[in-house]
Amino acid sequence: MDVSLLLSLTDRVASLAAPSGMHPGAWPLGERLAGWTRAHGLVIGDPDTSPLGRARCDRLAARLFRTAPLDRVELFGHWLTWTFALDDLLDRPPLAASATAVCELYDDLLRALRRGSARPGARPLESTLVELWRQTAPSMSPAWRRRFLLHLEDHRSGCAEEAVNRRTGTVPPPDRYAAARRRACGPHLFDLVEPVLGAELPDRVRAVPAWTAFTEGTADLLAWCNDLASFRRERQDDDAHNLVAVLMHTYGFADAQAAHWTVDRIVHRAADVAAAARVLPDALDRLALPEAERSAAARVTAVLLDAPRAHLDWLVESGRYDLSRPSGDQDERRPLGLLDALASLR
């Protein structure tokens, strides 16, 4: 999609009007993250020849967390990179159309987390996940850890459902697309806001209907903006798990018309998020939270409110979905580290 279509949202959505800021220590993060990614085998060779290498996860992390401790911002960049590496693998053959293979790979990853160690000779996705978990989980409660693991399982289910759809040629209908997209779009990443900020949400905050409306709406904004940016790449791969593609299939739209309808849906969804955010303070007041829990909720809310614009700015500056960039000796559609990741399916 044309970048101007994404940027048109800044004139139509008040919460997207002002450019996002950047963490003052962000400058060296890019080089450090690139070195970490290569050292862990998630990118091999020239990073400019793969979507993962061009993603610039450091920029998104630094825009999302402008005042957090820099080491925590970097940790979130590592989690983003790992998640993108996993998604690139799951979205490409041979796993893309095999729910069995998706579940087998994910079962290996989840077993490693519960075991607390990677298997001997484990490949990059598994060994890196265990390392990230060791750096993240100790500071969080057992309840948070259970929630994070459940969201990883939700991600597995969402990606397995997408694999079935690809194998059968099924295009999800619009009324089911949003919920399915939320599951397949890394719901565990929302949980990571808390360890980055050092602020854990109690379960009773997450059970408030206004909180659910706020977070689900925010997830939809992020996913649908991403759909606009990634549509050309996914069309090239004949992948219909994109709101633009869903609208084209359902209503017979041309791609430009479907893209403009997607923008309209984003505008309306942003209004839902704004309405939920307005009632959220009163809803939290009724819980009579202790000061520490109220502060944690306020800090997490602030990050999520700013997330759609931070993500929009990242989409514009990232090369993850740029099909015009050179692919070198590697197939643009093949995720880096594919052979290593596939080797873990045993």
pLDDT, tens digit (0-9, with 9 covering 90-100), for 117-172: 999 988 899 999 999 999 999 999 999 999 999 999 999 999 999 999 999 999 99
Q: What is the per-residue pLDDT across 295-314, written as a single tens digit (0 to 9) for each? A: 999 999 999 999 999 999 99
169: left (phi over 0), alpha (psi -120 to 50) or beta: left
| Residue-level pLDDT at 44 | 87
Q: In the predicted model, is pLDDT for residue 342 greater than 80?
A: no
User: How remote is the C-alpha of 279 from its chain's centroid?
Assistant: 26
Residue 37: its H or E element: helix 29-39
d(CA 298, CA 304): 10
| Residue-level pLDDT at 4 | 83
DSSP letter assigned to residue 345: -
Q: What is the per-residue pLDDT across 31-63, written as a single tens digit (0 to 9) for each? A: 999 999 999 999 988 888 889 999 999 999 999
